[in-house]
């Protein structure tokens, strides 16, 4: 069940003697599990209201918004309940490392996910934090027309290589096209997930 302010009464807070439901936090982009916390009704209300993931801290006995000290907030994307409505899956976008130790996750795993998602985040970082040494930053600085032109050039080169049987050259051009395509998405303010959503809507 997708959780919203309209169906909170369906959640089984009363199954737990302390009114807490376990909440698994997953990066919405990489699908990597970041941490587990606990939420009562008030914490979930605040999460849905503010868009920042908030837990009930059992040690502090109060509401606790992830990032309130570190500024490494978890920005809410969606909340789902399991089949018994007594466990929550929170998809979020992290501002930085999730674990208090400084690790990406509370299991000390790198939050990279699929490589294309990792590449996309790197490209977006180069867009938002330009570096003179970065080809990506230099390309983006030349404007949308130049980025789009590069995508066209790479597409033509891929078509040319498709007519031959050189595996390395063909895959190299395919990689070049994919990279420049993701740069174009970033330049336009879109993401691979936006494209995935369109494809999902067509897959019926």
Stretches where the chain sits below pLDDT 70 are none
Write down all domains in the chain, each with its CATH number in brackets: 8-94 (3.10.20.810), 115-202 (1.10.287.1080)
Give the pLDDT of residue 203.
86
Provide CB contacts within 8 A for 126, sequence distance 6+: 134, 136, 137, 140
**Whether 41 contacts 48, CB under 8 Å:** no
Give the pLDDT of residue 162.
97
- Enter the pTM of the model: 0.67
| 3-state SS record for 39-81 | ECHHHHHHHHHHCECEEEECCCCEEEECCCCCCCCEEEEEEEE
Tens digit of each residue's pLDDT (9 = 90 or more) over 98-120: 999 999 999 999 888 788 888 99
């Amino acid at each position: 069940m997708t959780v919203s302010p309209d169906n909170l009464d369906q959640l089984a807070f009363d199954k737990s003697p302390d009114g807490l439901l376990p909440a698994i936090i997953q990066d919405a982009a990489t699908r990597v599990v970041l941490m587990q916390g606990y939420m009562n009704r008030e914490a979930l209300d605040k999460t849905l209201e503010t868009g920042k993931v908030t837990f009930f801290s059992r040690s502090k006995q109060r509401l606790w918004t992830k990032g309130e000290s570190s500024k490494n907030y978890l920005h809410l994307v969606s909340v789902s309940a399991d089949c018994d409505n007594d466990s929550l899956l929170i998809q979020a976008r992290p501002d930085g490392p999730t674990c208090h130790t400084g690790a990406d996750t509370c299991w000390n795993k790198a939050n990279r996910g699929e490589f294309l998602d990792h590449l996309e985040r790197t490209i977006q970082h180069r867009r938002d934090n330009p570096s003179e040494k970065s080809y990506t930053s230099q390309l983006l600085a030349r404007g949308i027309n130049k980025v789009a032109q590069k995508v066209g050039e790479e597409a033509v080169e891929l078509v040319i290589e498709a007519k031959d049987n050189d595996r390395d050259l063909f895959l190299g051009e395919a990689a070049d096209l994919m990279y420049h395509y993701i740069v174009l998405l970033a330049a336009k303010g879109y993401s691979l997930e936006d494209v995935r959503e369109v494809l999902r809507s067509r897959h019926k």
